Amino acid sequence: MTSGEGMDHKELKELIGEVRKTFRLLAGMSNAMLEERGLTASLLAILEYISDNGSSTVPQMASAKSMKRQSIQAIVDKLLAMGLVETVLNPTHKRSMLIALTEKGTASIRMIFAEEMQVLGRVTTGWTGGNIEQASQTLREFRLQLTGLGTGGTDLEARP
């Protein structure tokens, strides 16, 4: 079936297929790793956001991630219960508390990054060739071409 497919776009469709497969492979591995630590992709996404961008308010993160603040709030509540983040007084806004990493949270995310490094290390040592930079560049260009033609992704998905 699926006859009448444009021959012109064959390469592009294959690239899309590879992106899909790679994403799922990475997501599967990451989820397996996170599960061992009692974390989920969405929890890590927020930890990572704070780690990268510093303490932030819930509405800030919701906006940055194109998600509803209620959804972020639910994630933050879990992280608070786990002791991975804490609320901090916000100097610029009296009602909207900042969410900050605790020491435990910092340690947690550091361990996860370290384990990722290990896996990447195993890949790079066993991999002789591959134009990694070029592939990144191609994907970046591809995204640029697509942007403006439609809406981007919105939710927190499995995090490779």
Which residues of the shown chain bind DNA in the complex (CB under 7 A)? 40-43, 45, 57-59, 66-71, 73-75, 92-97, 154-157
* Nearest distance from C-beta of residue 5 to a copy of itself, angstroms: 7
- The one of a copy of itself, DNA, none whose footprint includes residue 80, by CB under 5 to 8 A per kind, is none
**146 near a copy of itself, rule: CB under 8 A:** yes
d(CA 68, CA 81): 20
**107 near a copy of itself, rule: CB under 8 A:** no
Q: Which residues neighbour 57 within 8 Å (Cβ) at sequence distance 6 or greater?
A: 90, 93, 96, 97, 98, 99
Closer residue to DNA in complex, CB, 37/140:
37
d(CA 51, CA 110): 10
Contact 49, 61 (CB under 8 A): yes
* Nearest distance from C-beta of residue 66 to DNA, angstroms: 7
